[in-house]
Structure formats: C-alpha cells, structure tokens
Chain A
Amino acid sequence: MTPNTLLWPILVPALLAAIFLILPSRVRIVREVLAVAGSAGLVVLGFALFAAKDLTLSLPWLGMGIDFDLRLYQFSSFILLALTGFLFLIALFSTAKMKDDPKAREYYGYVFLAAAMANGAVLADNFVPLVFFWEGLLVTIYGLITIGRKKTSNRTAVKAFIISGFCDFCMLLGIGILWTITGTLKMSAISVRPEGIAVLAFIMMMIGAIGKAGAMPFHTWIPDAAVDAPVGFMAFMPAAFEKLLGIYLLARITLDLFTLEKGTGLSVVLMVIGAVTIVFAVMMALVQKDLKRLLSYHAVSQVGYMILGIGTAVPIGIAGGIFHMINHAMYKCGLFLSAGSVEHRTGTTELKKLGGLAREMPLTAAGFTVCALAISGVWPLNGFVSKEMVFHGALESGSVIFAVAAWVGAIFTFASFLKAGHAVFFGPRTKEVAATKESPAPIVIPILVLAALCITFGVFNKLPLESFIQPILAGHVEAGTHLDFTSHALAVFNPVAGISILCLLIAFGLHAYGWKRGEKKAYLASEPVHKFPGLRQVYDLAEARVFDLYEQGIKFIHGLSWVLFKGIDRPIDFFFEKVVTSVGRAFTGIMSKAHNGQYANYLAWSVGGLVVVASIITLLVK
C-alpha cells in the first residue's frame, strides 16, 4: 500500500459525485448501482487503510509551508472507516427513500461530494487542506438542505450556512493565530501549551470543532433542518458525519495541537459547554411533537456528552467522549433512518398522528427500540458503556456538578424516547394513518445493521475499546497509566452505574405519570414537564426562538442596518444629494449669469485677465 492510496478515499467519491451530477436523472438504476457499489468499495478501502495504519503523503502545493499533506494513523484511519461505513448505509437507504425524488441526481452528487470532503478533512495533516475540505463540506450541506424543497428549506440552508460559516471563520482565526505562534501549518508538528495568546487560538479552533459537531449555541439550524431537509441528510450529516468530524477535530485540538490539562480553565469551559448542551437540548427534545425534530435535539444533546467527556481531560473521560461519538453516530443514524422508514410508509413523523406501528413495521420498530435504548444508556448497550465512561470521567475531574448534569440528561433522554417509541410504535393504532406494511429492504437493512452494531459495541465493548479507542490515547497519557476502561464500565454493580439505573427508573416513572395524566396518550406524556410552572414560560420563549442566537443576531443586524441607514447613510446621502448639489447649482447659477453674451463684458474679462497675468508675472520675475 503506497502513500498515494491516501488520495483514493478523496478522489473516488469526488469522481462518483461528478458522475452523479452529470448523469441524467432518468438513469436511476445506473446511479443507484454506482452509489451502492462505489460506497461498498470505499468500505473495503476503509478497512484496508485501517489495517495499513501509518501512511503519510506530502505533495508540494502553494509553498510557504502550505503543502498537501495527508496523514493516516490510528485515529484518522478509525474515523475514515466509520465515515465510509456510514456512507455505504446512507447510500443503501437512499436507493429506496430517494427513489422518486426529482432532485435525486443532485442528492447523490452532494452526498458523495460531502464524503470526499469529509475524508479529505480527516486525512489532512496541513491546516490549509483541512480548511479547504472543511469548507467544501459546508457547501454540500447547503445544497443538501435545499433539496428538501420545503417552503423554508432555503432559509434553513442559509441559516446552516451562516452558523457553520461563523464557526469555520473562528476556526480559521484560530489556525491563523496558531500559525503565528508555531510558524508551521503541519498539524502533526504542532503541540502548544494553551497559555497567553494560545488560549485564544484554542477557543477559536474549539468553536470551529464544536460548531461542526452541533453543540450549543451553534445547534439551532439542526432542528430546523430536521423538518426542511431530506431525512437521509439528517441521518448522514448531523447524526453521523458532522459528529465524527467535529469531535475528531475537538479531540485533535485537545490531544495533539494543544495539551489540555485536567482542572484548567479551558477544561472547565469545555465541560460547561458540554453540560449546558446536554441539559438544555434534552429539555427541548422532551417536548417535541415531531419525531424528526425530537431526534435532532437529541443529536445536539448527545454532543454534550462527547464534549463533556473530552473536556474532563482525564483518560477515561476522553476515551468515553470518543467512544460516545462513534456510538452516537450509530444509534442516531439508526434512529433517523427509522424515522425515515416511518415517513416513507406513512408520510408523516408527527407523533400525534402515529401509533401502534409495531405490528405493521416490526423490523423498523425493533431497530428503533434497540437504538432508543442505546441512546438512553440502558445496560448492556453501547450507549450505557460510553455514558458510564463519561460519568466516571466527570467524577474523576473533581466536579460533581457536571456528572449531575449528565445524569439529568440521561433521565430526560430516556423519558423522551419512551414517549417517542410509545407514541409511534406502541399504543393504539391511530386513524390518521392508513394501513401499511414494512419498508423495503434497502431501508430496513441499514437500520438493523446499526442496531446490531449497537448491541455488539455494548456487549462486547472490549473489542471497540481496545482496537479503536485505546490506541488513540496511547501516546497522550503518562507512561504506566492504566488504560483498561473495560473493567469498571461493564461492571453493573458499582455506585455510578447504580445512579444511572436509578435515573432510568425515574424517567420511566415520569413517563408513566405523564401518560396517565395525558389520558393515556403517549405523545402527551411530556406535558407535565412542559407545563411545569416556570418551565412553561421558558419553553414558550424557546418556541419563539428567543434563545436562538442566529435569529436574534439576524434581528439585531436588521436593526443595526436600519439605524445605520437612517443615522449614517441618509445624512451622507443628504449631504451629497442636497448640500453638494445645491452649492454646486448656486455656484453654477452665479457663473452662468455672468456669461450674459455681452461682447463688451467678455472683452473686459480678457483685458482684465491680461492685467492680472501681467502683474503676477511681474511680481514673480522680480
């Protein structure tokens, strides 16, 4: 395997994307065969590269240290493998879901272009190619959201673009500062202690990373996109790719580029962001009435666990954060695909209209249940393991409050999935939805594969932890540190796991209470929390997008532009339009009056001019 092989994961999907964009819409079969076969080939390539481990490729590019450096090592090969795997599942899913979509041509093109960009970003070992691929991904996000063709799709696409663009701009600033400090753009050559100006670089780059992952307050486009974008995009981008990339970069920042230490201010900042994201996003998720919106808030909330885990800066926390990233990608992707499956057959994802689908769609229901239990952290699924690791990390970092926040998140996560699962698949069958049947195989298979992976990663957690996660940390902890996380993560009978299980019980109780209060309608199970005095007003404000920084920012900018227009532009305009022109006209008028056509007058000026000229020359010559 030569270093040039590293170009394949970038060039192959890019080439496929070009083919998809050129290929006429009608040749559906060719497109789908190419997509599935191509992405399957990429998975094989991903495995081959994962086996190869260490490869570097350096092509001279723009000079000044801006080279096209690619580096494959433990961490990036793992992410690359995950990316190719998700691409394959999404491609398979899309063959059924996007079958009759008039924009399928662009959809496939953008998806594969996004894959090319994401692969490039993961492999990049130089900041300039990294930014190039990172921004390229942003463009495909814009395109994919607009494919939703809802009334507000374009608006949401712009929102996603602006929010992500802001985060990327911050990252760019951070990179610039880091370049100034270190004098190099080669990522693997950089390791800085976050002190002085480097703190700013850290924060800026961190914003770029967590913004991509969708942490608060950079998350607000995701719930909007859940409604406006194709569901395949949601499973593909916010659920899987963006988490992988964002958390990958965050881990690189905290592990490689900077040396984040336990108990420092920056560590606390990250943990606060993580905890806040967990709690607030899950509270929003709980009261959602639409399955896709509910899932999208969880996609935000779960990022909090990853950031919290990485922010603890203790080995078990970091490992938990990274493990949670891959786990989350699997079950959240599975959940969105399940939602897509439901939407495919029933045409809606509104909880109120759905119910009792388990009998007609047993496979989807099973997949959804497994993934929902996994995200809720039920033993022995993968979510349980990684969450336990994050709890342990949070406790080890010394601040109990963060662990408490994480547990609060766990309560409401489970409560909201009890509500969602109950409302969609169980309970009485609603009349709004006509009789239906299970989705076709291309939709069901990815869901079941993901559910199976959730079980595997949970039950046999030693396997992923030892082969994927621990090697990433190997170079970053003090020699001799115990790196075996499996022992206490699996042990169900320890105080931490006890509290977690207690949380699940509380959640169950909450759901049961709400369900009874809501006249046994599952979609009303969260109403007691929703209508809780104090919380209700906050929820109302949130519904009005008061907490959405983007919406507030847009309002502010509109206001500012109005003020600038009235306060500065108009006066300047007045100056030029009225003051300057009237002064000019007045002057012109005076001069014009002087030109009255009288010969004598003109002759007098000429002679007067002669006198003046002559006297000036006389004066000057002397």
Chain B
Amino acid sequence: MIFLFIALPLVVAGLLPLLGRVSKRVLPDALANAVLLFLLVESVLMGKHLAGSGPYVRTFSWLGEPVNLRLAVDGFSLFMLFTISLVGLCAGIFSIDYMKHYGAKANYWALFLVMIAGMNGLVLSADLFNVYIFLEVAAIASYALVAFGLEYDELEAAFKYLMLSVVASAFVVIAIAVLFGVTGDVSFAAVARGLQDTDSRWVVAACTAFFIMGFGLKAALMPFHAWLPDAHPSAPAPISAMLSGLLIKVSGVYALTRIFFNVFGLTPALSTVLMGLATLSMIVAAFLALGQKDLKRMLAYSSISQVGYIVLGLGLGTPLGIAGGLFHLINHALAKGLLFLNSGSVQQATGTRNLDEMGGLAKRMPITAVTNLVGALSISGVPPLNGFWSKLIIIVALVQAGQWGFAVAAVLASVLTLWYYLLIQRKAFFGKLDERWKDVKEAPFWMLASNVILALLCIGIGLFFALTIKTWIQPATDALGQGVRIALGPWGM
C-alpha cells in the first residue's frame, strides 16, 4: 500500500488539469483535499501497522518485469510521511479560499500534489538514485509554484531558486555517481555494505562534502541559504508554508540525515561540521530576521534559523539530541506553517507585507492575531507550547553531551527568536489600528479553519508532548539511532 503515497497524488495530479475544464474550483478543491486527507489517515493507520511488524521493504513489478523501485518504511520515514500529510492538509485547506484570486486552481492543485508525491517518494526511497529523482520531482514542482503568481519578483525568485537548486542537485548527482563507482550499487544497503568492506575514507569524505553542499542548500543551511529568503516569500502563502514547513526539511534535512546516519554512519568529524553549520545558521539567520521589514521575509530567515536547531540536535547524534531535532522538525513544520498561513491572511486582508505599515490588526482580525501569537510563542520556545519542549530537549541533550558552547548558542538564538517574533506581533497585531485598515475583515472560513487547527495542534502537542514523543518521535529516533545497521539489516533484502 505504501506505493499509494506516491501514486495517488501523481495520478490525481495528472487528472486535475482535465477536471479543471469541467469544474473550475469546487471539484479540484474537494478532490485534492480528499487526497491529502486520505494520505494523512493512511499514514496514521500505517503507523499502527508498522508499530506491530517493524520496518519493511517493497519491490515492485510491472507486467512481470521487476521494476527497480525499492520503497522502505521505518519509523523515520513514517514520521516524515505523517508530518508531510498533516502540514500538507492544512496548507490545502487554506488554499481553498486563498488561491481563489490566483485563478487556474486545477493547475495549482496539480503542482501541489506533484510536490507532495515527490516528497513522499523521497522519504520512502531506499536507494540513492531514487532519492535524487524524487528530490527533483518535488523541486521542479516547487519552482513552478514559487512563480505561480507570475509577477516580476516571483519569476525572479523562482529563477534564482532554480539556478541554485540545480547546482545543488548537480553535486548530489556527482556524489551519488562517485558512490556508485566505488560500491557498484545505489541501494542504501549495498552502498553501506560496500563502504564498510573497503577502506574508502577519502571517498566518503568527498561525498560527504558534496552532500552537505547539495542537501545543505536544499535545507538552507548557511552559507548555502541565500536563495530561500527570496523564494519563500514570493510564493503564495500556502506554498510558502509548504516550502518552509516541509520541503526544506524533506529534501534537505531528511535526505541529509538518512544518508549520513543510515548509509555513511555518523562520524565525529561529520558531527562537528554539521553542528558548526547549524549554529552558524541559527545565530546569523536570527540576526538577519531581526532586520527585516517584510513579514514573510522575516519568517523565511526564521526558517533558516530554526533548521539550524533541527540540524544541531540531529548532528549531535545522541539519542536525546536526535529526538529533540526530530521533535523540533515537526513542531517547526506546524508553527512555521501556521505563521506563513497567517501572513497570507494578513497579506490578503491588507495587501501589504510591510510590518511598518501594519498595526492594530488584532482589533479587526482577532482570531488571526491569536493563532499568530500561538505560532510565534511556539517557535520562540515559550512553555507550554510544543516549541518549548523540543528546544528544551535539544538544549538538555547538548548539556548532557558536554557541548556547553552550543547550548549557550541555542539559548541565545532562542532569545533572538522571541525578540523578532514579538516584533511581528507588536507591529502587525497590537498597538493602534491604522486608519487605513479600519475596513479590514477577518480571514474567510477555510483559512481560519486551517489556522485554528494548526494553533490547536501547537497547543495540544505542547500539552501532550510526552505522548507525541512516544508515538511518533521515539520510533524515528530508534531508526536513526541504529545507524548503518538498519540499512544492512532489515533493508538488506
């Protein structure tokens, strides 16, 4: 059944432009969201199944010929599937109202679903080449989505994004090719075994550097981040939420982590480099966010900073650090998704993204103001919201591992984060209502619904963080914690 995660969105995406001729809005909206809802339910059900039977691998045959498409599910991929479906569904619900004025909704949904299919495929792949393929599938859909508004800025941003991403993809392909050359195979299991059998330190070192650049660029780690603050704000709000909430994590963090942990095995050297880059991102991007006037640009820089947290936790490599990193991954996906969607509500209501022009919007958009506050406090790590717990776990893990310097940096970045989020809240929502915005209305129903769901998730996960960790985070941590053995063992086929 796991094939459905890729096939269903792809097939529906193929049908949608045709269906768009029949029904401009209602049918595409309903169909796309139904697909997203189905995927969410499926990922939850599969989680139950998986918890009982352990990770499994599928090979597919087409007309009697084996097709070399190996898909594997373990705790980590399942966790990612769940996150993708959850945030995807919320962004989807938001799009129902938000994308009205863009037109061409069927095309939008087609691209949206292709991106979902690409991300799902990526997290289910069990070989390096499939990783590359799905990476490109998701990326190409995202280039088109960034440019969806077809304004000058959007096209420019999409082009810049495309040009830098292509470079990244190129390095990824080079690294995969080198590994194929050394080990004679591209499946995780074979590559892992091949690398163990031969002394290939230098090959691994070179490939590591290439992967860090390639996936690091996708994940917007500094100094490979520069495309993100242009690309993410330019996209329509739900796409910004998808890109910041999901795509950078799936095509960047997930791919990086999967390969480094389960194929290469995390070495101290790698750990140091990852943590160094993570800290650099965390701090510098926080400062950059502080200087922004554009609401969505500020959020975009914040994404870079928060990805730093995730990579810092994962790069530490201790079970607690991994758990903290993964927990922050889903928390950030929810909260940043929420914030980008809120920014969309604000932009639609006022027509501007400039914080200096806003003010007092809480009086006109009370629900949006509250959900935005929840998201902001969550990312800033204010108890009892979810972001607090994940940051706490990361910091505790750092302290436990004796990494005091990194722990202090993490706390410092957290303070900066609170700083600029309160800046947003104050400039946009609090204070005196500007005369210009006296006719502003609260966002329409579906947009509000999506925001409220995400805000409730932020609160709920914060209150029931122990349950969340037990159900979703722990299996994923276990999968990563086993390191290379998981590729050699259950995936060995």
A residues near B (Cβ < 8 Å) are: 584-585, 587-589, 591-592, 595, 597, 599, 601-603, 605-606, 608-610, 613-614, 616-618, 620-621
Contact = CB atoms under 8 A, between A and B. Distances in A.
B426 to A, nearest CB: 14
A3 B487 CA distance: 77
B206 interface: yes
B163, B209, B216, B288 pick with most chain A CB within 10 angstroms: B209
Contact of A603 (B164, B212, B230): B164
Interface in B189-212: 201-202, 205-206, 208-210, 212
A90 B338 CA distance: 66
Contacts of A601: 226
A599 B212 contact: no
Per CB-CB distance, the 8 closest pairs between chain A and chain B, nearest first, are A620-B269, A588-B291, A602-B226, A614-B209, A609-B223, A610-B213, A605-B223, A588-B287
B208 A592 contact: no
Given A606-B167, A606-B217, A617 B287 contact: no
26 contacts: A584-B290, A584-B416, A587-B287, A588-B291, A589-B291, A591-B287, A595-B226, A595-B288, A602-B164, A603-B164, A606-B164, A606-B213, A606-B224, A606-B226, A608-B223, A609-B223, A610-B171, A614-B205, A614-B206, A617-B209, A618-B205, A620-B268, A620-B273, A621-B201, A621-B267, A621-B269
B457 interface: no
B19 interface: no
Interface of B: 160, 163-164, 167-168, 171, 201-202, 205-206, 208-210, 212-213, 216-217, 222-224, 226-227, 229-230, 267-270, 272-273, 276-277, 284, 287-288, 290-292, 416
Given A610-B210, A614-B206, 15 more contacts: A585-B290, A587-B287, A588-B290, A591-B284, A597-B230, A602-B164, A608-B223, A609-B213, A609-B223, A616-B276, A617-B205, A617-B270, A617-B273, A621-B267, A621-B269
A372 B164 CA distance: 101
Contacts of A610: 171, 209-210, 212-213
A572 to B, nearest CB: 15
Contacts of A621: 201-202, 205, 267, 269
Contacts of A597: 160, 230
A614 B272 CA distance: 13
Contacts of A587: 287
Nearest to B221: A609
Contacts of B292: 592
A591 B288 contact: yes
A613 B212 contact: yes
A617 B264 CA distance: 14
A612 to B, nearest CB: 8
Nearest to B229: A595
If over half of B's interface residues share one DSSP class (helix, strand or loop), that class is named, otherwise mixed; here it is helix
B202, B268, B287 pick with most chain A CB within 10 angstroms: B287
A148 to B, nearest CB: 43
Contacts of A608: 223
A584 B227 contact: no
Given A603-B167, A605-B223, A606-B164, A592 B272 contact: no
Contacts of A613: 209, 212-213, 216, 273, 277
A614 B212 CA distance: 9
A610 B268 CA distance: 19
Contact of B288 (A592, A599, A617): A592
B291 A585 contact: yes
B201, B226, B227, B273 pick with most chain A CB within 10 angstroms: B226
A603 B277 CA distance: 17
Nearest to B212: A613
Contacts of A591: 284, 287-288, 291
A621 B273 CA distance: 11
Given A609-B223, A614-B209, A602 B288 contact: no
Given A617-B205, A620-B268, A588 B288 contact: yes
A584, A591, A621 pick with most chain B CB within 10 angstroms: A621
Contacts of B269: 616-617, 620-621
A609 B225 CA distance: 11
A602 B212 contact: no
A621 B269 CA distance: 7
B345 to A, nearest CB: 27
Contacts of B209: 610, 613-614, 617
Contacts of A585: 290-291
Nearest to B230: A597
A616 B273 contact: yes
A614 B207 CA distance: 9
A584 B287 contact: yes
Nearest to A596: B226
Contacts of B223: 605-606, 608-609
B160 A599 contact: yes
A601 B164 CA distance: 11
Contacts of B227: 602
A589 to B, nearest CB: 6
A616 B276 CA distance: 11
B287 A605 contact: no
A602 B416 CA distance: 25
A622 to B, nearest CB: 9
A588 B286 CA distance: 9
A592 B290 CA distance: 10
B182 to A, nearest CB: 16
Contacts of B212: 610, 613
A198 to B, nearest CB: 45
A584 to B, nearest CB: 6
Nearest to A611: B209
A352 B164 CA distance: 97
Contacts of A595: 226, 229, 288
B3 to A, nearest CB: 35
Contact of B160 (A584, A588, A592, A602): A602
Contact of B291 (A592, A606, A617): A592
Contacts of B288: 588, 591-592, 595
Contact of A609 (B208, B224, B268, B287): B224
A614 B227 CA distance: 21
B163, B208, B273, B291 pick with most chain A CB within 10 angstroms: B291
Given A591-B291, A618-B205, A620-B268, A605 B226 contact: yes
A564 B272 CA distance: 45
Contacts of B291: 585, 588-589, 591-592
Contacts of B164: 599, 602-603, 606
Contacts of B224: 605-606, 609
A1 B202 CA distance: 95
A545 B227 CA distance: 72
A584 B419 CA distance: 11
Contacts of A599: 160, 163-164
A266 B287 CA distance: 65
Nearest to B274: A613
Contacts of A584: 287, 290, 416
A621 B268 CA distance: 9
B259 to A, nearest CB: 14
